[in-house]
Amino acid sequence: MRIALGLEYCGTAFRGWQSQAGGGTVQDALQAALAKIVGTPVGVLCAGRTDAGVHATQQVVHFDSPVERPVTAWVRGVNTHLPDGVAVRWAQPVGDEFHARFSARGRRYRYLLLNRPQRPGLWQGRLGWFHGELDLAAMQAACGRLPGEHDFSAFRAAECQAKSPVKTMTRATVRQCGSLFVFDFEASAFLHHMVRNLVGTLVYIGKGAQPPGWVDELLQMKDRKLAAPTFSPDGLYFRGPVYEPHWGLPDPDDDFLDALL
């Protein structure tokens, strides 16, 4: 029986999503909790791997269970065995043809950036931070150049394992809520560190170091060394994959992020 789960987690205490020697990842914690319910080791596959320090409001995974359990066992039961900072939000049986990663037609990320002279205290680890003044209009103009199909090599980490740097961006926006800048991105898929590299470039433009048209130059030159440094993982949230409606999977409302702004 194949089961899909929706998770949320705070990445601050984890070494990223993917299982590693020595443990300490979200995948390690989830697989250990599932083993308690199933009674045997269980492997899970996710919609999108996240780095150390990156959070998720809607990570989707799937696994094949050798035993049947009520849906409540996959939610409340698994949550009983998970550490603080990670929780299952929903569970649903799916057909064997469903794959958390390959069935997704898109993925969504949000970056929260605190823009004030003082570093964050209350939200430390959950917000990015830049101390200097930022020009919203300039960053919005730069964002407007990102949608479409592009070679995003200039925003690709050296260790990226993606077969192709060509991705289709369907949304790239930034808005300001007081001292907080909210960046939203949606694309067919993302390269390793792509969102953090985009945010770093937009901050360079926002502080006046480069004009909005710099984005066009970087896309054309396809050279990571010419773009801005990778920005902090602290304010990055994986908002989940986008699936076709026929899968019937829940899409939990994460507007609490907006309510907290």
Place of tokens 């949320």: 8
Q: How far apart are CA 180 and CA 128, in angstroms?
A: 10
Annotated catalytic residue 96: no
Active-site annotation holder among 28, 51, 184, 234: 51
Which candidate, 232, 253, 3, 249, places its Cα nearest to that of 127? Answer: 232
Is residue 111 within 8 A of residue 257, CB to CB? The reply is no
Which residues 6+ apart lie within 8 Å of 181 measured at CB? 112, 113, 115, 134, 136, 139, 174, 175, 206
10 Å CB burial of residue 217 (0-12, 13-18, 19+) is middle
Q: How far apart are CA 136 and CA 128, in angstroms?
A: 16
**Active-site positions?**
51
